[in-house]
Each structure stands twice: as structure tokens, then as C-alpha cells.
Structure 1
Amino acid sequence: MDSLKKSFSFILRNRTGKIWVALTAIAALFEGFVPFILVWITKSIFDLVAKALRTSQSDLYLHAIWMLLLFVLINLLAAAIRFMNEFYTQKTQSRLDHDLEYLLIKKVANDPISNFDIPDYHNHFSRLQGSVGNKIILPVQNIFATLKQTISCVTFICYLTTIHWSLVLLAIVSCIPLIVMQFKLVRVRFFTNLYQTPLFREINYLKYLLTARENVKEIRIFGLANHLLNKWSEKYLNRASEILKVQTKQTMLKLGVEINSALIYLLATSTLLLMTRANFITFSIGDFFAIIQSVQNLQHSFNELNSIFSKIYESNMYVSDFQNFMKNDQEKSTQRDIKTLSQPLTKGIVVDKLSFSYGQGKTPVLENVSFEIKPGEKVAIVGANGSGKTTLIKCLIGLYPVSYGSIYINGIDINEISKADLRKNITVIFQDFIKYHFSIRENIAIGNVDAISNLDEISRVSQLTGIHEYINVLPDQYETKLGNVLTEGIDLSGGQWQKIALSRALFSDGQIIVLDEPTSSMDPLAELDIFNSFEALVSEKTAIFISHRLAVSRIADKILVMKAGRLVEQGTHEELMKKEKEYYSMFMAQAKWYEKDKSGVA
């Protein structure tokens, strides 16, 4: 019942949906009576023609023609209502597709980033994809379809009861086995889809590996095409086999319905003939047609009701699945009083005994991390791969919830800071930043879409990062499209893309700037230029950067050394080198690569 209420609430949000509900209700009421009315008109036509043939009364033919015109008019009116209803159904479904997809995307965009590390979350979202509007509108459609078929059933039952109760019993009893089979099939169909979702996602992933532009080079170089194609084929055929089993059961059920209908027709006709022979009842040729058609229509209505009830059951499971997904935790903090960060920052960042793990009971990725960053301080976070650097950053910027320990920004607990205000004041560019296939201007202005038309500021930050000169010689300059997915744009080198991303970070104008390997794709000279102007780039901002190249960390005011999720050292480059511990070992190991041995080989 809750699912049905939810479907109605979605549909009635706009005028189109309200018109559709009203029109569908009218259509259900009208079409519910139409089958019996048409049977009765046809009976009357048969009787009039039969009587005319016996008596040669010419006015009976005219009467039959008028009845035939009425038959045609009712059919035309039913068709007009049906076509209008179908039009508004498509219109309402299209609007629902947009509105519900919008809700799903908005929900995913606001979910905790930790959800994206959970496979079941992706399975659940994938399961809801495709014709969302149709799946939500179905429960309401089925309710009106139930009304229509119920009216049809009642009219035929009332008529057949006046002939003989056994005809009604025959039609009803014959449907019981099919009802049981239909409900079992619905459960099988829904849970097949449920359990097939992970496999379906894997199939799509393999297809993506084989067809996406960014994968082509590596697939060709390693000769992976046949291996991945065979893997895709095996999994695709396995899934198709499971789906075919369900479709086979469905086909057998439909065959059962057809056989059942033929048997009922045979039994009903035989019963009528036996009753007539025994002089139990007498009827005209029109009565005979009406009775047989009524038995068939009654059985058809029962079968339709059975199918509708199973669809209601199935569509309610989908709506419940949709509701469960929408009810899952959205990105929120355990906020007591939502606060905002003052400008400029006066107290910096304090991390106190921070621990984090991906899910309960799992090994901590961060463990008991504590440090302080002063306002305007430039801090480098270094460590081997898997040491927890990026996870620490994601906690610092509020992407991962702080459940153990505390993070304070400007003296305010991060859980009490408005998410919007946090995003506004912290700018982050990760190593795997997005390369938007938009114009260069849009790629940079994405850092602050409210100022997307401020070309002067876009140009200023581009000059700081050294990409302006390259952009300026392009025919369309900042309106040049990048990438070849949407249009025939230009391709940038890795280093050029990194300068675009760095420009994006500077354009956002947050008080805290976080850079994850900001120069990893640049050549040594470009990297040297960036770090020579690093002070100008970040100016008065508090800056945090992650880098594997420890020589870069020498420009930092403070260095945080991570190892296995723990903060093992912190201090300036000179202080840490004197200690001759983790940082010293890492720095000296890298330094050897830049020294030539006696043979002159690097």
C-alpha cells in the first residue's frame, strides 16, 4: 500500500500526471462496461437478422443496421479514449523518467563517498536503471486495470448467473492453477534480475574495456582483445541462459492460458448443447453467441486480473526497491548547529587522534593520526603507496565521515560545518581529476561555476599555471573544445591537462587548497616553473599537497610522513633529514636515481 501511495505522489506532482490519472479512471470505467455492451449489441443484431429471415419484416433489417452503427460508434469512442490515454501515458511516463532520474542522480551525488566503495551500492543503483517512469507508473496503471477488469467480470457474472451458475464456476475454477503459477513466476523474474545485477555490471565493464577510447592503446599493446572478448562472451551467455529459463517458464504459462481457454470454450459449448438437448434451457442464436462470448470474456477477465495482480506484486517490489535506495544514508554529518567558516581562517586545521576504516570491522586505513596546520602554512604529505595519504585528504575535506577522533577547521568541528560552506572554502584537485570534454573555459571555470563567464579571472589563473600562452594561439582560444567524445576537439598532453586542472583549483578561490600529485604528468622544466612560482600560486592560502617526488617537499613549511596509516614523522625537510629515519630513507633512496655511478649510467 505504501508503494502505491508513493507512486501516486510522484504522478500527481504535475498537471500532466493529474490529467492522466483522471483520463485513466474514465477509460477504466468506460472500457469495463464496453465488452458486455458489445456482446449484448451483437446478440441483438443476430436475433434481429434471424427474426427478419424468418418473418421477412424489412424494418427489422433497419433496426439491425442501427444496432450495427451503435456497435461501430462504441468501438470508435473506446479507441479514441484509449489513444488519448496512451498519449498521456507516454507524456506522464516521459516526465516521470526525467523527475525520477533527477532524484536518483541527485541522491547519488549527495551520498557519502564511502558508499562508492561498496559493491552492493552499485548493484542497487544499477538495478534501478532503465525506464524508471514506466516502473513507477505501473502500480497505478494496474490499479485502474483492476477496476476495468473487475467491472467486466461483474457484468458477465451477473449475466451468466441468469443462465446457469455452473458456467460461472467453470470459468473461475479453470483460472486457479494459472494464478498460482503466475505469482511464482513473478518472484522468479524479480529475484533473477536481483541476483543477475552484479553479473550484468561485470558484462558492461568488460564491454567498456573493449570499446572505450581511453582503453584502446593498452588493450592492443597487450593483445587482450580476444581474452576479454571471450570472457565477455562467456558471462553474457551465462546470463542469457538464466534469463532464457525464466522466459521459457513464461512461454509455457502463456501456452497453458491458451490451452485452458480452448478447453473452457469446448466445455462451455458442450454444456450448453447438453442443456438444450435435455430441454433444460432454451435460447436463440443470439443468446448462444452471447453466452459463449460471455464465458470466454469472463475467463479472459479473470486471466487479466491474475496477470494484473502479479504485475502489481512485481511493480510494488520495484517501487519498494526504489524507496529503499532513496532512504539510504545521504551525505550528512552529525550536525548539532550548522556553522560557517569565517574569512580569513585564523586557527588553521587541527587533526586529533583520527582513525578511519572502510566499513565496520575492517582494518583501519588511518590510525590515531594527529597534527596541526597553521593558517597560510604550506604542508606536504608524503609516504609510500597505500600509506593513507589520499584517505587522510578525503577525511580532511569532509568526503569521508569522521567517526573516530576529530578534525577542527578554524576551531570548528568538521561535523558542525555546513557541507556547502566546506566545499566553498576547500579546493581539491586529485591526481585522477576529471577531463571534461567541454571548452577550455568551462574546464577551468568548473572550479567556480558561478563565475563561469569571468574570462579575465580565467585568463589570470591560466597565466599563473603557464597554460595561457598555449591557449592563446588556438583558433578559438578559451572556447576551444577538448577531447573527441562529444565533438571534434583537440587532445592535450598529460602535462597540459594538469595545468588546466591546477588552473581550475586556483579559479575556485578556496581558503584551503589541496593538490594531489599536482605535477606528476609534467616534464621536469614545467614542474620546476610551477614550484618556482608556487608561493605566488597559493599566495595567502593554506596549501596541502601530496607528492611522491620528495625534492618538491623542500618548499613546504611542514612535512607529514605517512606509513601504514600512521603519521610516523612531521617537521621541516632539514629537521627530518637530521633524524635519519623514514623520511631520510625515502629521500636518499630517491636521490640515488639522480646521481650517476662511476660508469656514467643514471
Structure 2
Amino acid sequence: MSEKIKLVKIIKYVFSSLWRIDKWRTILYLVVTNLRSLFSIPELYLNKLFIETLLAAIAAGSFTSYSQPLLLLVIVRFLVQLSESILSRIGYFLGYQLRLKYQASTDDFISDKLYQLEIPVIESAEFTTRFSRLRSNRYRGFNLANSVISIPSEIASIFSSLALIYILKPWMVLISLLFSLPKLFIRRKLAHNRFKNDEIIQQKYSTRNEVENLLNHQQEEVRTLGAFSFLKEKRRQIRDEINNLNLSSDKRMYLLGIFQEFLDQLFSRGFEIYLVINAILGRITFGDFQAASSALNRLTVSLGNVLNVIGDSMENQIYLSDLMWFIDHPVEPFFSHKNSVNLSPKNSLIKFNHVNFHYPGHQKFSLKNLNFEIKPAEKIALVGLNGAGKSTIVKLLCGFYKPTSGQVSFGSHNIFSYPPEVYRSHLAVLYQNFCYYSVSAKESIGLGNILKLEDFQAIQSVAKLTKIDSWIKSLPQQYQTPLATHYPNGVQPSGGQRQRIALARIMLKSAEVYILDEPTSQVDALAEEEIFSEVLDLLKDKTVIFISHRFCTVRRADRILLIEDGQITENESHEKLMAQNGTYARLFSLQAKSYQ
């Protein structure tokens, strides 16, 4: 697709967005912005009349006969300039309101579109890079619209200025245009160079931010490791690389800018000298000289503005190509939205049938010919070494990834036969890297079930279950206390407290299947024992799948699935696995020995 077509497509999208957001304010902004251009010729002509009338009064040696026309000209000039100023203020206010609405609409659109894309797409390297750049430049669309809207006003100002200049010397119009062409080339070149640099800089910013996070928010580990000097030097190196890239781009920009300014000044001063000579020789009046000088200044400014608009449009078009890429990105849902089947909560049989899986971009299989069933209300533990495939099983069960081959079914159908919101309403998942919400304690738990967000009794009940209620009650505002220190009276929960809150959150959800990935890894052994006893008792009629490296916890399961290199090598109860004296029994004994 050619760049012109891309630019037209982007402009069309931006204006259709503004039209959808606020049609009448967009129209009013367009009208007000361009009404100002109507004042250009009257203002220049009034200034010319004022100078000529004033000079005539001076030549006559009496202001009496000229006082009335001079006063009238002053009043009219005042009204014209005041009207232009008022329109300018109104335009700024309307533009500010539209900008805020456009930004909100853009953020909503990006979130909605991102929610429609599947996890493998979002986690791909190419998508991550382009989406990060998109997020940084997502508001450029309004800048582009603002530039396009101002074009008629600037063009009208240019033509009004050129008209006055043409009256004096037609050939000066051609010279004015020729001197303006290098500006367009300069802006075009700078935009492309800046975009290329940004692609490289964006990656370096990501690395720098990671180092900054370690230096600013991981003080305990940094000090313990003695890594402060190393990380500080690492940050300096990355910062220098970023600065050098920016400096290289800025140097070209400033040098080309100096050349552009030289051309502007050469033309302006040359034209002024020409006008002065003609005024002295009596070929033009001083009023013509003043009008032509003003027209020249206005022409220079307006030409500069138009070229800036064109340059900005080209620059914005380059950056907004990421937005158009995102808009056009195909949505290929895993789940069926048409001809979907009904899901009965009573039939919650889970089945992995000859499931093989490898992550996109990887050749090695994470899961190999996986075959197992989980009956309704059964308690299953997944155990194995790190990287064995336990969390991958959870991702496939949640429908975040599709098996490379084979099928995952829930009830009597493939999980992708159901609408995603219906299927996932039957799942409650505590992820190993669970989310931490900087909201009140009540909301942080209540997010587990939006329908119960205002049900304080239900929220407190699960908080008591996960042994976090007493801590919340000790806070300054109890359940209304913000769980972030950047809020007034906010607090920062410990790792164990966060995990209990997260566990309470999923316990609030009315699901058929509960998946707990390392649910008590950050709590002490005594608390773990109490929490698991109460959780399993409360969920006795539900299916529970939990992953844990603590074998004292997994022994409670009805069955234990040992995962080794993406395969199930053992699948029995704790007692039977111990009797078999296989890998599970060996791992259990090794861990038990460490507690002796």
C-alpha cells in the first residue's frame, strides 16, 4: 500500500472516530478554526488604510479633519482583532475537549481490541514490540486531525498574503513558493530518521526500565547481592546508547533547521530591502509597504505552518501505521461464537485426549500425548519439577492456547465449542503470578465476582476463610483501605497477605472448577495447613486442581498426576504412589527428610 493511500486511510479513520465521538463539537471546531482565516485580508487592508490615513494627516499638518476616520479605523481594527482572539480561544477550548474525548475513546478501543485477540498473538515478539510503540504514540491521531483541520485556514491566509504581494510584483509569488519547498523535504527526511531510531530506542527503553525497576523497587535483593554498582553501570550504558541515538537524530534536525532558517531569512530580508527601495523611489506608498511587509510575514508564518502540517501529517502517518496495523489485525478466536453448544454445570468432566502442544515459535513439545480425565468434584494435584508442563496444562484448560493436536473437553464437548465467557464462568483460577490490584481491600476481593462486589457479607466470609479478615480489620479504614501506599492511608500488603487476598478473590467466584497454581507458596506451613483444610472442605462438591511443590499439601488429593517432560508418568492416590515406590515416592521422601 502506497504511503499516500495509507495517509488517506489514517485520516479517514481519525475523522470518523471524531465524528462518532462528538459530531457537533467536531463540526463547530472545524468551523471556528477556519473562520479565523477570514480576518486575514481585512486586517491587512485596515492596517494599510490606517498607515496611509495617518501619513496623510501628518502631511496635512492637522489631525482635526482626520481624527474621525482614524478613530473609526482604530475601533474597527480593535473589533477585528478581538473577534479573531475570541475565535482562537473558543477553538482552543473545543480542541481541548475533543482531545480528551479522543484519548478516552482510543484507550477504550485498544483495550476492547486487545481483549478480542488470543494470548499467543499478544505474547508474540513482533506484537509486543509494535504494541508497545502503539501505546506510546496512540494519541497522535488527534494531532493529525488538528493539523488537517487547520489546513484550510492556513491556505486562506497564504492566498490572501499572496494576493497582496501579487498586486505589487507577481514574480515574487513564484520565489516565495520555491523557497518553501526545501522545508517539506527536510521535515520528510527527519520524520523517517526519527521513526527508525524509535524502533531501536524502544527496545533499549524496555531494558532500561527493567534495570530502573531493580534499582528503585528491589532494594533488598540488590543490596544483599551487592549488585548496585553493576546495575547502575548497566543503566548508564543503556542511557548513553539512547542519548547517542537521540543526539545523532537531533544533530541532523538542528543542522537542517539552521539551513531552513537561513532560507527563510534570506528571502524575507531580501524582499524587505526590495520594498524599501521601491518605497524610497516612490513606486509604492508607505501603506503599500506596510501591507506588503505584513503580508510577507504572514505568508512566511502560514507557509511554515502548512509545511509543518504536511510534515506533521507525514510523521504522524509513519507512527500511526502501528495503529492501522492494530486496527486491521485479524481477530481469529479459538472459541466458537456461532452454533455454540450449551454447557451444563452438572456435567463438568474434564478430559485431555491425546494432547500434544508446543508454544508458537518453538519446536520442542511442552506436552506429549497427554491422556487423562478429571471427574466432577474430584480433587487433583499436578506435581513435577519446574518446566515439566504443569502450568501449560492450566493454560490449555483455560483455553488460552490450542493444543497442537488432540483435544481438551469439558462436559461432553471440546472446550472451544462453548462461548468463552460461558466456559470461563465455570472456572476460578488462582495463577502463580496473580494480579495485584491497587484498589480497596473490599474491591480487591470483590473483583472475583462482580455480581457480589457490594455483598460485604460474602466478601468478609471468604476473607475469614483465607485468614486475612483480621489483618484487614486492623487497617486504618478496614475493608475500605487502599492496598497501595500512593493513596492516602494506603498500605502495602506483604507477599503472603497478597496471596491470601488473591485466594479470597477466587473463592468468591461461584464456579464448578477451581484451579490453584501454588496457592500458598508465600504463607507459612501452619497457615497453609489451616487454609487448605478449610478450602477443601468448602469446595467438597467442586472440582479442584492444584499445583504445589509442597508434598504435604498434595497428599490430600484424590489423585496425583506426576508430570515429567510433558508426560504423565504416574497417576494414582498418594498412598498407592508411595506403595509403588516410584519417582513421586522418592521426591516425597526427599522433601519429608528435609523437615526431619
**Equivalent in the alignment of 1:342:** 344
- Residue aligned with 2:416, SS: helix
Q: 1:483 to 1:145 in 2, by over 3 A?
A: closer
Q: 1:296 to 1:494 in 2, by over 3 A?
A: closer
Structure 1, 261-270 or 481-490: larger mean CA deviation: 481-490
Query: Deviation at 1:276?
Result: 7.6
Q: CA RMSD in A?
A: 2.8
**Equivalent in the alignment of 1:6:** 13
The letter for the 2-side match of 1:206 is V
- Residue aligned with 1:12, SS: helix
Q: Does the CA-based 8 Å contact 1:515-1:545 persist in structure 2?
A: yes
Q: Aligned pair 1:91/2:87, yes or no?
A: no
* Pairing partner for 1:149 from 127, 130, 154: 154
* Pairing partner for 1:63 from 57, 63, 69: 69
Q: Aligned pair 1:186/2:191, yes or no?
A: yes
CA distance in structure 1 between the partners assigned to 2:73 and 2:137 by the alignment: 43
Q: 1:34 to 1:463 in 2, by over 3 A?
A: closer
Query: Deviation at 1:164?
Result: 2.4
Q: Does the CA-based 8 Å contact 1:167-1:295 persist in structure 2?
A: no
**Equivalent in the alignment of 1:123:** 129
Q: Aligned pair 1:225/2:228, yes or no?
A: yes
Q: How does 1:501-516 map to 2 (within 5 A)?
A: 501-516=502-517
The letter for the 2-side match of 1:157 is L
The letter for the 1-side match of 2:212 is K
Unpaired runs of 5+ in structure 2? 1-7
Aligned length: 587
Q: Does the CA-based 8 Å contact 1:261-1:296 persist in structure 2?
A: no
**Equivalent in the alignment of 2:142:** 137
Q: 1:241 to 1:370 in 2, by over 3 A?
A: same
CA distance in structure 1 between the partners assigned to 2:100 and 2:247 by the alignment: 30
The letter for the 2-side match of 1:250 is M
Deviation string, structure 1 residues 306-342 (Cα, Å, up to 9, x no partner): 1110111122233332232244355832524233421
Query: Deviation at 1:486?
Result: 2.9
CA distance in structure 1 between the partners assigned to 2:169 and 2:482 by the alignment: 78
* Pairing partner for 1:204 from 206, 209, 234: 209
Query: Deviation at 1:184?
Result: 0.6
Structure 1, 99-108 or 487-496: larger mean CA deviation: 487-496
* Pairing partner for 1:253 from 251, 256, 277: 256
Deviation string, structure 1 residues 494-553 (Cα, Å, up to 9, x no partner): 444433333222211210000112232333333333444454132111111111123433
TM-score by length of 1: 0.89
**Equivalent in the alignment of 2:39:** 34
Q: 1:444 to 1:143 in 2, by over 3 A?
A: closer
Q: 1:473 to 1:322 in 2, by over 3 A?
A: closer
Give me the identity figure in percent: 25
- Residue aligned with 1:140, SS: helix
Structure 1, 322-331 or 65-74: larger mean CA deviation: 322-331
* Pairing partner for 1:49 from 43, 51, 54: 54
CA distance in structure 2 between the partners assigned to 1:341 and 1:174 by the alignment: 72
Query: Deviation at 1:217?
Result: 1.5
**Equivalent in the alignment of 2:302:** 301
**Equivalent in the alignment of 1:264:** 267
**Equivalent in the alignment of 2:445:** 444
Unpaired runs of 5+ in structure 1? 596-602
Q: Does the CA-based 8 Å contact 2:21-2:101 persist in structure 1?
A: no
* Pairing partner for 1:169 from 168, 174, 190: 174
Q: Does the CA-based 8 Å contact 2:557-2:573 persist in structure 1?
A: yes
- Residue aligned with 2:325, SS: helix
CA distance in structure 2 between the partners assigned to 1:363 and 1:59 by the alignment: 98
Q: Does the CA-based 8 Å contact 1:431-1:517 persist in structure 2?
A: yes
**Equivalent in the alignment of 1:396:** 397
Q: 1:276 to 1:470 in 2, by over 3 A?
A: closer
Q: How does 1:289-368 map to 2 (within 5 A)?
A: 289-328=290-329, 332-335=333-336, 336-345=338-347, 348-368=349-369
CA distance in structure 1 between the partners assigned to 2:414 and 2:306 by the alignment: 58
Query: Deviation at 1:492?
Result: 4.9
The letter for the 2-side match of 1:243 is N
CA distance in structure 2 between the partners assigned to 1:466 and 1:182 by the alignment: 63
Structure 1, 561-570 or 122-131: larger mean CA deviation: 122-131
CA distance in structure 2 between the partners assigned to 1:433 and 1:552 by the alignment: 20
Q: Does the CA-based 8 Å contact 2:432-2:517 persist in structure 1?
A: yes
Deviation string, structure 1 residues 292-317 (Cα, Å, up to 9, x no partner): 33334333322222111011112223
**Equivalent in the alignment of 2:245:** 242
- Residue aligned with 2:347, SS: coil
CA distance in structure 1 between the partners assigned to 2:361 and 2:587 by the alignment: 33
**Equivalent in the alignment of 2:164:** 159
The letter for the 2-side match of 1:245 is S
Query: Deviation at 1:285?
Result: 1.4
The letter for the 2-side match of 1:48 is T
CA distance in structure 2 between the partners assigned to 1:250 and 1:42 by the alignment: 37
TM-score by length of 2: 0.90
